[in-house]
Amino acid sequence: MTWIYYDSKTGNVERFVNRLKLHRDWTIQKIDEALEPLHEGHLITYTTGFGEVPVSTLRFLDENSSMIKSISSSGNKNWGPNYAMAAIRISNQFKLPILMQFELSGTMADIQKFIEKIEG
């Protein structure tokens, strides 16, 4: 069983995971302050501000990074070098591998790429 944890503010990441649900029967769970993951899984988050990691994502990782196998993040290419920077910052801080970075809510090609990398 594959577990996906995610954080979404504007709905882009939520749209991405909702499309994942259409293609795979994975357990997908939105993170919040009370979530204590019982299974290892992959984390998808968004990039905020000028390439920053959301506070809610950092809070989750501070408590649960040992349960995370990989990190993916969305971003906006209009941000230039800060595009999807949350994945890079998380990877550096928590020593987690980056699975992928995608723009906004991703494309169908991004969904397929994500699935292929997980099932690899």
**pLDDT per position as a tens digit, 97-119:** 999 999 999 999 999 999 999 99
Confidence of residue 120 (pLDDT cuts 50, 70, 90): confident
Q: What pTM was estimated for this model as a whole?
A: 0.96
3-119, CATH topology level: Rossmann fold (3.40.50)
Q: Residue 78 in contact with residue 70, Cβ under 8 Å?
A: no
- Asked if 71 and 98 touch (Cβ cutoff 8 Å), the reply is yes
Domain coordinates in residue numbering, the chain: 3-119
Q: How confident is the model at residue 12 (pLDDT cuts 50, 70, 90)?
A: very high
Q: Alpha-carbon distance 4 to 68, whole Å?
A: 9
